[in-house]
Amino acid sequence: MLTARNWALQYDISAKPWLILGKGPTFGKFRPEMVETYSILALNHVARAVKCDAALMMDIDVFDACGDDILTNAHFVFMPWRPHVDFRPSAKTLEDFVRENPRLAQLDREGRLVTFNAQTARDFEPLAGEPLTPIKFFSAEAGLNILAAAGAQQVRTLGVDGGASYAAKFSDLNDVTLLANGREDFDKQFGQFAQTLRAYPSLVFGPLTMQTPARIFIGADETQMLGAKMFEYSVRRYASMSVRFEVIDNAGLPTPADPARRARTGFSFCRFKIPELCGHKGRAVYVDADMQVFTDIRDLWARDMGESWLLYSELSGSEGRIPQYSVMLLDCAKLGWDAKALVKALDAGEFDYKSLMYDFAMMPQERKRAGLEFEWNSLESYEHGRTKLLHYTDMPTQPWVSDKNKNGEIWYADLRRAVADGFVTMDELYEAIERGFVSPLLPEWAKLKPHPRGSQLMSEWTPPYKRFTKKAATAS
């Protein structure tokens, strides 16, 4: 019997990108001609409906229900070494079932039956020499992990939607298999996808219905590279689809002659570059570097923009602040911004700083909308389970500058995780200290190994925001 590891050695896994097909509503968008572009992995009963390169099922019941169709439609069939019966790993091995089931025996004789160690079967002796394939909630997790471990470079999905419904094609199963394992919905699989993407960072993965990867531009100057990297880490902790990050600043843009119209930071005007950087195609997200995410970025990326070209976040009403364009979802195909021209127009007096930066007066009012709830740009306020993005917007108390931020421990906890995961190294942290970008005492605040000269450096340190403010004041 083939194992998933041996199958990967003999199969040209990267000949085409893969499409995982589930029974969710977007299965309705599948078209037979997609097989010309994608290798198809069909989950469970989907294999009764489509020709596929591989079919995967956790439960022997699925094969019993539609084995004849699977024999016809699937080139390979993947099943756990301990197949599930009634949604639990069986005491029998797949070899035991092969001896009992003629259709499985046929697949095995033809070299089309592939087995793997599903991690749900950890209470049973696994197949020796074959690694564990992580799966916690649903079969799509196993499919993604098998393909990723085999070396697939691009995996897309249809019918793997979350929620609690099937596509019309599988409505006959609504009273048979729909969430019959006791889960409330299919959403928990997204957290498992995020774990797989962290383990395989080069893998491109996401729904076929969405632009993938999600493009995220972080506005930052050189003093904020650690913050930008920590923002990226916080996004990757939860992202159930691939993300691509790019740090941008004001480089290449003119400097207004009037100091009152000049950038307040080294990245104030950079957001206007984004449509051009994207070739005026597709979507993009803009954020500042001084932020931390606590949920799946897919929630923001998948928003229906309607007739709007730009979505920004509303305010809670209690913050007493002007509208914030520091978190934005952009339709780059609609936004014809020319960043250099906009800054020149600012310098020429067509806009003042406020109208350009806080009103976005260069675009029609009806094409911009506060379509992101305030939880996506929560200014210095955090509520567990509700806040989606925390914005450390008050520079004197940002956690890498001061240990007085009321939410600082939330950021420090993420920094500890990032160091433990190797995403941020202590050498990088020490370099940021030595260049004066973060407090020399930051490691101590985060309960990490102190910098050897932390106390000495602290006595000489001026926070970057003070240096920038002083420079701006001198220029004016």
CATH number at residue 35: 3.90.1480
Task: Please tell me whether residues 236 and 197 are part of one structural domain.
Answer: no
Q: Is the pLDDT of residue 129 over 50?
A: yes
195 and 228, same domain (yes or no) = no
Among 149, 174, 207, the domain-final residue is 207
CB 23 within 8 A of CB 161: no
Res 177 pLDDT > 90: no
pLDDT at 111: 96
Q: Are residues 435 and 368 in the same domain?
A: no
| Average of per-residue pLDDT values in the chain | 92
Residue ranges of alpha helices (H) inside 49-109 are: 60-73, 94-100, 102-109
Predicted confidence (pLDDT) at residue 262 exceeds the cutoff of 60: yes
Angle at 212 between CA 281 and CA 7, to 5 degrees: 145
Does 55 share its domain with 196?
Answer: yes
Tally of domains within the chain: 3
Between CA 52 and CA 74 the distance in angstroms is: 5
Domain that holds residue 299: 214-391
Same domain (yes/no): 328, 180: no
Give the DSSP H or E segment for 5. helix 4-10
Assign 151 a pLDDT band (cuts: 50, 70, 90).
Answer: very high
Amino acid at 296: D
Do 195 and 253 lie in one domain? The reply is: no
pLDDT score recorded for residue 140? 97
Contacts of 64 (CB under 8 A, 6+ apart): 101
Per-residue pLDDT tens over the stretch 339-391 = 999 999 999 999 999 999 988 999 999 999 999 999 999 999 999 999 999 99
Banded model confidence at residue 474, pLDDT cuts 50, 70, 90: very low
105 and 175 assigned to the same domain:
yes
What is residue 383's predicted lDDT score, i.e. its pLDDT? 96
Examine the domain organization and report whether 381 and 247 are in the same domain: yes
pLDDT average, residue stretch 38-64? 96
The sheet with strand 389-391 has its strands ordered as 291-293, 389-391, 378-379
Q: Based on the domain organization, do 193 and 230 belong to the same domain?
A: no
pLDDT class of 121 with cuts at 50, 70, 90: low
Measured CA distances, 425 to 229, 415, 432, 448 (Å): 11, 10, 11, 11
Q: Could you tell me if 408 and 418 are in contact, meaning their C-beta atoms sit under 8 angstroms apart? A: no
Q: Same domain for 344 and 237? A: yes
What is the Cα–Cα distance from 82 to 47, expressed in whole angstroms? 20
Do both 418 and 302 map to the same domain?
Answer: no
Q: 336, 366, 391: which is the final residue of a domain?
A: 391
The CATH number given to whatever domain includes residue 248 is 3.90.550.10
Question: 382 exposed, middle or buried (CB, 10 Å; 0-12, 13-18, 19+)?
Answer: middle
Instruction: State the Cα–Cα distance between residues 38 and 356, nearest whole angstrom.
Output: 45
Residues 163, 223, single domain; the answer is: no
pLDDT over threshold 90, residue 461: yes
**360 vs 184, higher pLDDT:** 360
The model's pLDDT over 265-302, given as tens digits with 9 standing for 90+, comes to 889 999 999 999 999 999 999 999 999 999 999 999 99
Q: Check pLDDT > 50 for residue 438.
A: yes
Write out pLDDT tens, residues 215-249: 999 999 999 999 999 999 999 999 999 999 999 99
Question: Can you give the pLDDT at residue 322?
Answer: 61
Q: Please, are residues 427 and 453 in contact by the beta-carbon 8 Å criterion?
A: no
Q: Is residue 230 a contact partner of residue 410, using CB atoms and an 8 Å limit?
A: no
Last residue of a domain, one of 356, 391, 426: 391
Q: Where are the alpha helices (DSSP H) in 348-424?
A: 353-357, 408-420
Quickly state the pLDDT bin for 475 (edges 50, 70, 90).
Answer: very low
Burial label for 7, CB within 10 Å (0-12, 13-18, 19+), is buried
